[in-house]
């Protein structure tokens, strides 16, 4: 499974990239707003840090305007992945952008039928929003499972990018089902390493080692 981080915070991205576990970054207008910077400048900084795909989202809703914005975003760096919404105009833009050889992340997916259309349009990634589905009383993981089955049935190459991840359990469940990618907030990614028994075990090892009076090296 690939790990993307869902943030536009340069400091957080540098820290996580240094771990060697980061495969890409996803951003959106809300995260750009939170960063306090201009989209082109922030995206360029991220692309200079991370080798993998960096999703930068268009804000237009009509096809022609989406294509204009996509051209601007594509010039930022070779690893920019253009992010478009799951609408008819967005799917049309996806098809056109993919024909130019650029990566496309189709976002705001909430149904298997939408994911099927995105794959037909040639999307590089489909982003089903797990947490937001959970918020309305539906199991978001069922959607991941449905998309996985459909994509496997027809050998679609579109990668399932589980988004709106709220918990470490979401990550585990997405991995068990077979999502290709998860994009997670920095805090959630850092929380994956934590377990109380790991902390307790390390504390005991260190205490016992101290009693030996030895040093390594």
User: What pLDDT, in 10s, does the model give residues 26-74?
Assistant: 999 999 999 999 999 999 999 999 999 999 999 999 999 999 999 999 9
**Above pLDDT 90, what percent of the chain?**
100
Closest by CA to 93, choosing from 65, 54, 113, 116, is: 65
How confident is the model at residue 16, as a pLDDT?
A: 96
Please check whether the domain covering 2-212 is classified as CATH 3.55.40.10: no
How confident is the model at residue 172, as a pLDDT?
A: 98
CA distance linking residue 41 with residue 55, whole number of Å: 14
How confident is the model at residue 196, as a pLDDT?
A: 96
Q: Return the active site residues.
A: 83
CA distance linking residue 14 with residue 71, whole number of Å: 27
Specify the pTM.
Answer: 0.96
**pLDDT (tens digit, 9 = 90+) per residue, 18-34?**
999 999 999 999 999 99
How confident is the model at residue 158, as a pLDDT?
A: 98
When pLDDT is averaged across residues 174-193 and rounded to a whole number, the result is: 97
How confident is the model at residue 191, as a pLDDT?
A: 96
**Domain extents for the chain?**
2-212
The label of the residue with tokens 């990618």 reads 181
CA distance linking residue 36 with residue 200, whole number of Å: 40
CA distance linking residue 194 with residue 214, whole number of Å: 28
């Amino acid at each position: 499974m690939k790990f993307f981080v869902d943030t536009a915070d340069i400091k957080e991205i540098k820290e996580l990239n240094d771990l060697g576990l980061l495969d890409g970054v996803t951003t959106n207008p809300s995260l750009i707003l939170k960063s306090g910077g201009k989209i082109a400048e922030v995206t360029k900084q991220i692309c200079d840090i991370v080798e993998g795909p960096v999703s930068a989202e268009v804000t237009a809703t009509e096809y022609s305007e989406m294509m204009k914005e996509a051209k601007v975003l594509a010039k930022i760096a070779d690893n920019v992945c253009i992010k478009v919404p799951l609408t008819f105009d967005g799917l049309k833009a996806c098809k056109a952008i993919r024909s130019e050889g650029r990566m496309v992340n189709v976002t705001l997916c909430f149904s298997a039928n939408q994911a099927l259309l995105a794959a037909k349009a040639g999307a590089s990634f489909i982003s089903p929003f797990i947490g937001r589905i959970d918020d309305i009383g539906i199991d978001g993981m069922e959607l991941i499972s449905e998309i996985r089955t459909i994509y496997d049935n027809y050998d679609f190459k579109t990668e399932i990018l589980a988004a709106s991840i709220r918990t470490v359990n979401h990550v585990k469940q997405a991995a068990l089902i077979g999502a290709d990618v998860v994009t997670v907030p920095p805090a959630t990614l850092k929380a994956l390493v934590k377990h109380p028994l790991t902390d307790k075990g390390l504390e005991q090892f260190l205490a016992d080692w101290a009693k030996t009076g030895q040093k390594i090296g």
